[in-house]
Structure 1
Amino acid sequence: MRAVQVTEFGGPEVLKAVDVPEPTAGPGQVLIDVTRIGLNYADTHQVENSYQTLTRLPFVPGGEVVGRTPDGRRVVALLAGGGGYAERAVAEEAMTFPVPDGVDDLTALSMLVQGTTAWILLRKNAHLEPGESVVVHAAAGGVGTIAVQLAKAWGAGRVVATASSDEKRALALELGADVAVDSRADDMTATLIEANGRRVDIVLDMVGGTTTDQSVAALAPFGRLVFYGMAGRTPPKPVELRNLLGHSTTVAGMWLPHVFRLPGDLYGTALTELFELARAGGVRAVAGGEYALSDARAAHEALRSRGTVGKLLLDPTR
């Protein structure tokens, strides 16, 4: 079967479509005939071996697919060990979820990682309360587009979006943001406070660098910043705990795999609610572009340029 296999770590240039043996499902697993593959920014880190977990060569990247099982079920699945950039993939049955009628492939994949990430950031980490202000950095991205919509749906008093272009800022406003500002602002602290009219209550940040540093400085008393990625590839400054006393602020981190270590089924609750919201028109997925499997390199180049919006997909039939 055709798949994208990485035999050396590096940038998008190491992504090459080749023929590989077809995977087989073992006990507790299911084989999926893939119809679409979801891309995440984390995939770019995995390919260069800078992700939270180290990867061994050779490997097929990709952690999310939608398709059909041999018995005809339409499912979306998380692939903890990779293998998603392929015509067929094997998933653990426990990480495979039915796709309801009325939910298309784009929406299913948008909610699987980006949607659940936004849900957990706002509900579990930030504990959003009605009337609070929410800053969504990278608001036109996969997580950002959904986070803007959820924050408004859940009663945020003011949603401040940041994005790098007029087109992206217009998209954030269309999705419900109250104001959209340039993510390249020299002084993000002053920009956020001015946009909100006061210090901000919640910041969702996956950029890193000075964006994180200056966002922490913009927090109101009992404000919370949740850090869930480093798209800028520059780490923020270490947080001095004594400095948090100045405004009684909280800085938290979130990595989605940790959700599965919690008792109960928080992830399943989030995904089910998101699918229902999508079916009811309460949240929508934003298409960011569809690439042929053989063009995975171009897809990663687009992701790394940070010029994309919404959800990017790969088509395994091309």
Structure 2
Amino acid sequence: MRAIAITEDHHLEPVDLPEPVPAPGEVLVDVVAAGVNRADVAQTAGKYPPPPGASELPGLEISGRRRDTGEAVVALLAGGGYAEVVAVPEGQLLPVPENTDLVEAAGVVEVCATVVSNLVLEGRLRDGETVLIHGGTGGIGTVAIQLARQLGARVLTTVGSEEAIARVRELGADAAWNRRTTDLLEAVRETGGADVILDVVGGSALADNVSMLREHGRLVIIGTLGGASGELPIGMLMGKRARVIGTTLRSRRTEGKREILEATRELVWPLLADGSLQIPIHARFPLERAAEAHDVLREGGHLGKVVLEVAETQPRNR
């Protein structure tokens, strides 16, 4: 099968590999497309190795067809998605949402599961609360803005340019700031602070994030773009009776992923089917141009997801 592997000097290269052999409880999926995520970029750079036992190939999500039934599915992976065939635990599969293009569906499951896991299951975001979402134009940010609005929250977000402010406002953000030109701490404080903060920055933003929390606030850290360590103002955290929550999705066991996917299907799939929530696709590249897809994420400024076309485009799933 065709696949994309990571070289010893941290580049991507096309390779020809044997198809994976499914373990007990796994099924083979013929891949139509693969989603591209920052975790793939980090893994390629040698900074985010796959969990023990996972494929060394990059790729955390795919769309395709089950080889045993032919059903159109999306799959949440620990690795291996940049290939024509994947072996997936059956509990990590969901049907493609209705009215969703099968190629574009490759960019659905990882971001939706991440947002549900962190805003809903971990952050306990409720109707009437305020959420601050760092990085509103990325794949996670665009979905988080829309889902938070559906949950009845007031949405604040950060972007990387003045032009992006209008884009995230169209997605449902109540307020957005250019992080390069705004004193974010002061701006969020002026709005009254946040009950939940979804953070992809990590260490360098830790103290400011705690400062922006309201009483009983929850800071959910899901990335370390700004560093893996930071100074925690413990006294302030205690005074606010707030919580700092750190989570990852990739390394969870199948049972934990299954629970998240069940919640994702219940909350998000109906919104995707009726168009209430949309996942913008910034670009589509053929599998062999995976390095260019990674460049898009490294450079930033994109809106939504980037996907790799692995097989020929399939008819729209209905």
1:60 aligned to 37, 57, 77, which one? 57
Contact preservation (8 Å) 2:98, 2:272: no
| Residues in 2 aligned to 1:31 and 1:263: alpha-carbon distance in whole angstroms | 18
Distance (whole Å) between structure 2 residues aligned to residue 90 and residue 310 of structure 1: 27
Aligned-pair identity in percent equals 35
CA distance in 2, matches of 1:211, 1:188: 10
Q: What is the one-letter code of the residue matched to 1:5?
A: A
Alpha carbons 1:41, 1:231 under 8 Å: kept? no
Letter of the aligned partner of 2:232 in structure 1?
A: V
- Cα offsets for 1:191-241 (capped at 9, x unmatched): 2223x2x22222111012433331221112122211001233x23414243
- Counterpart in the other structure of 1:118: 115
Aligned partners of 1:288 and 1:311 also within 8 Å? yes
Q: How does 1:151-300 map to 2 (within 5 A)?
A: 151-156=148-153, 158-185=154-181, 187-194=183-190, 196=191, 198-232=192-226, 234-257=227-250, 258=252, 260=254, 262=256, 265-300=259-294
Distance (Å, rounded) in 1 between the aligned partners of 2:155 and 2:117: 17
Q: Which residue of 2 aligns with 1:76?
A: 74
| Unmatched tracts of structure 2, length 5 or more | 313-318
More relative contact order, 1 or 2 (CA 8 Å, 6+ apart) = 2
Given candidates 282, 290, 304, the residue that maps to 2:298 is 304
**Can you list the C-alpha shifts for 1:6-35, whole angstroms capped at 9, x where unaligned?**
13153xxx1011222233334322222211
TM (normalized to structure 2)?
0.88
Q: 2: CA distance between counterparts of 1:300 and 1:23?
A: 24
Q: TM-score, normalised by structure 1?
A: 0.88
Q: 1:221 to 1:58 in 2, by over 3 A?
A: closer
For residues 87 and 174 of structure 1, the distance between their equivalents in structure 2, rounded to whole angstroms, comes to: 36
Deviations 1:129-160 (A, max 9, x none): 2211111110111111011011111111x211
Distance 1:72 1:262 in 2: 26
| Equivalent residues of 1:8, 1:57 under 8 A apart | no
SS at match of 2:149: helix
**In 1, are the aligned partners of 2:41 and 2:294 still within 8 Å (CA)?**
yes
- 79 and 9 in structure 1: CA distance in 2 versus 1, 3 angstrom threshold: farther
State how far apart, in whole Å, the 2-side matches of 1:21 and 1:220 are.
Answer: 53
Q: Find the aligned partners of 1:15 and 1:148 in 2 and give their Cα distance.
A: 32
Aligned residue for 1:105, secondary structure, equals: coil
Residue 119 (structure 1) shift: 1.5
- Paired AA for residue 218 in structure 2: R
User: Is the alpha carbon distance of 1:252 and 1:78 closer, same or farther for their aligned partners in structure 2, counting shifts above 3 Å?
Assistant: same
Counterparts of 2:156 and 2:183, CA distance in 1: 15
Q: In the alignment, what sits opposite 1:137?
A: 134
Q: State the partner residue of 2:315.
A: none
Instruction: Report deviation, 1:259.
Output: 7.5
User: For 2:98 and 2:105, how far apart are their aligned partners in 1?
Assistant: 11
Q: Secondary structure of 2:80's match?
A: coil
Q: What residue identity is the alignment partner of 1:177?
A: A
Q: Partners of 1:261 and 1:252 in 2: how far apart?
A: 21
**Relative to structure 2, which stretch is displaced further, 301-310 or 99-108?**
99-108
Q: Tell me whether 1:35 sits opposite 2:32 in the alignment.
A: yes
Cα RMSD, aligned residues only = 2.5
2:308 to 306, 311, 314: 314
For these two proteins, the number of residue pairs brought into alignment is 310
Kindly provide the amino acid, as one letter, of the partner of residue 5 in structure 2: Q
Asked if the contact 1:259/1:267 (under 8 Å) is kept, the reply is no
Residue type at the aligned position of 1:217 = S
Three-state SS of the structure 1 residue aligned to 2:99 is coil
Distance (whole Å) between structure 1 residues aligned to residue 31 and residue 257 of structure 2: 30
Query: Helix, strand or coil: the match of 2:268?
Result: helix
